[in-house]
Structure 1
Amino acid sequence: MWADFKAFALKGNVMDLAVAVVIGAAFGKIITSLVNNIIMPLIGILLNGVDFSGLSYKVGDAVVTYGVFIQSIIDFVIIAFSIFMVVRLLMKFQRKKEPVEEAAPAIDAKEELLSEIRDLLKNQNSK
């Protein structure tokens, strides 16, 4: 069982996925900081000082903080757009793979001789 787990865990795809998750988490923190510290204050200025994180609705003793939900939606849209742009940029830099031309199989001397005999017989019969 250990050998199977080791073979699975050390496959290239699993390692690539692990690296992608770690980088994605770090990228998410950067985007969240961008949204919280730069974009949301600018949106607040454009909307006459509205702070989304402070928006809430009180129902009895419960407080529904829908502003935090709006903030999360904006974070998601910006993260998704950023990842889309990075992937699009990487795809442009990726080299286009040229089609591999298959070489004709090598014909040995016997086959070449038989082909010539066949062609001579065809020409002789057609006359």
Structure 2
Amino acid sequence: MTVDRTITNSVGSDSEMLDELRKIRALLEPKPAPPAPPPPKGFVKEFKMFLEQYKVMGMAVAFILGLYLGTLVQSLVTNLIMPIIDIVLPGIAWQNIHAGPFLIGSFLGALVTFLIIALVIFLLVKITSKLGIK
């Protein structure tokens, strides 16, 4: 009799375990994707959805700010940093430094501008990521 009771308990717990496993499997199965929202009706609504979906306004603002940031940094390099180089190298116009046909001075000015812009963008990204802005 003891043997029969053990087998019965084992079978009962196995079926319970299978039921639990089936429930878990049902929870883990991927759900079908919800149906896509109907397309907006009307040109204005469609255009508004386009602006929101692709974040066009944010890109436009970033582009315009980037242009003016470049202008600002170019002015910083030309009017503040390169005059320091003129003090260090008196009597030599850095813009006119060249080796044969290669205008090294102009390239160095552009390189300094690029490095400053890259540094400013790096700092902006670092600060905004610390603030949680994506």
Identity of aligned residues (%): 32
- Whether 1:85 and 2:123 are equivalent positions in the alignment is yes
Distance of aligned partners of 1:81 and 1:95 in 2 relative to their CA distance in 1, 3 Å threshold: closer
Say whether 1:30 aligns with 2:30. no
Alignment of 1:54 onto 2:96: yes
Structure with the bigger percentage of strand? 1
- Gaps spanning 5+ residues in structure 1: where? 97-127
Residue 90 of structure 1: CA displacement? Answer: 2.6
Which residue of the partner structure matches residue 85 of structure 2?
43
Structure 2 unaligned runs (5+)? 1-41
Alpha-carbon shift at residue 68 of structure 1 (Å): 1.1
Q: What is the TM-score when the length of structure 2 is the normalising length?
A: 0.54
Alpha carbons of structure 1 residues 89 and 27: separation in structure 2 relative to 1, 3 Å: same
Match of 2:109 in 1: 71
Amino acid of the residue matched to residue 78 of structure 1? I
C-alpha separation in 2, matches of 1:20 and 1:8: 18
CA shift digits 1:63-96 (9 cap, x unpaired): 542321111111100111111122222333x159
TM-score normalised per structure 1 = 0.57
Consecutive aligned runs of 4 or more in structure 1 exceeding 4 Å deviation:
2-5
Shift of 1:5: 7.5
Q: Which residue of 1 aligns with 2:59?
A: 17
Distance 2:119 2:67 in 1: 16
Residues in 2 aligned to 1:24 and 1:71: alpha-carbon distance in whole angstroms: 19
> What's the offset of the Cα at 1:53?
1.1
Matched pairs, number? 90
